[in-house]
Amino acid sequence: MDLLNTLVDKGLRRELPTREEALAVLATSDDDLLEVVAAAGKVRRQWFGRRVKLNYLVNLKSGLCPEDCSYCSQRLGSKAEILKYTWLKPDEASKAAAAGVAGGAKRVCLVASGRGPTDRDVDRVSQTIEAIKEQNEGVEVCACLGLLSAGQADRLRSAGADAYNHNLNTSEGTYGDITTTHTYADRVETVQQAQAAGLSACSGLIAGMGESDADLVDVVFSLRELDPDSVPVNFLIPFEGTPLAKEWNLTPQRCLRILAMVRFVCPDVEVRLAGGREVHLRSMQPLALHLVNSIFLGDYLTSEGQAGQADLDMIADAGFEVEGAGTTTLPRHRTDAAAEAETGGGCGSHAGGCAPCGDVTDEPGDAEAGTPGARTDLVAVRRRGAGTDLAPNA
């Protein structure tokens, strides 16, 4: 297929596809799916080999968020029966993180619900970062605390944070349809603050919320321009008790096409398969490893993932390997550019110049799991790990 040959050539050169090419990937048929996966897999292997980076989420503060993000089980007005608790103590968070590290996680993602941290919250998270780093040598720590105020990114970096996550989630044109309590521009600004402080930026999207193909391409192109080091791709988990509970729009094939498009647009970036993979990809998860180079291990913020050992078995059975702590995730040209930026040499992350953690739909009549109502067979609320007395899934 001429389209795929063109996209592979561009991906190997880190050249941006056209919007028409990205849209064409989403429009390919199921008959062409394996060719699409194989083509995007060539780009993935060029920059990341057969390595899979494992990440582990620790929900520092669950529920009771004042923001109204329609997709979120922790949102204002959510009736989802999730765990609700206030801040974990640093030693509790460190213990939870250690379980993920023992399971093979290279990065620990510390997440807290809310609009953004107060200065006291930053102090609390800083103590948690220090505790985790002290007990887990070499582990990366990413913070995801919402919108940042001036100076907070610098303080997190001084405490030892390596990265900051804040997702764009959807296109600028449709952002107001899913959230009214903050703006798309607020999110962009927070990612830029993290980058300016020298933190590795992590920013991605949520697919399956009712957006068009054009919206999905728009947000991925915006991410390419924003130039985060890692792009998590979430697939909406339609929690009962949230406004998007009936949005069952994704098929496994559709998810794979979305991941392939992201890989073609962001060829040398850590593309992470995040929330919703078990719900929407199900038995086709191993195919996604040919497109992404990073996944979350075990459970998510408020929902359960598949067993941690099943994740490890899946990676091994598919012929991939878990990325070790001594291996640098990003290709050398990106890490060199980051080092140069740190010493005042400019950004340089893009070829040729400078540039939040753990949800495009078909027409409603084509929804793969379009039966309205709770899907308790697919969505299980987390009842173990952080905030409980039960052992975590790692």
**Which residues are catalytically annotated?**
65, 69, 72, 109, 142, 202, 272
What is the token pair recorded at 28? 């390919």
What are the C-alpha distances in Å from 388 to residues 86, 92, 103, 125? Answer: 12, 10, 19, 19
Residue pair 357/111 in contact (Cβ under 8 Å)? The answer is yes
Residue type, 55: N
| Beta strand spans in the chain (E) | 51-61, 107-112, 140-144, 163-165, 200-202, 205-207, 230-235, 270-273, 294-296, 321-322
Q: Rounded to an integer, what distance in angstroms lies between the CA atom of residue 139 and that of residue 147?
A: 24
**SS3 (DSSP) at 252:** helix
Quickly count: other Cβ atoms within 10 Å of residue 189's Cβ. Answer: 14
List of residues 6+ apart from 56 with CB closer than 8 A: 97, 99, 100, 101, 103, 105, 107, 108, 109, 296, 297, 298, 394
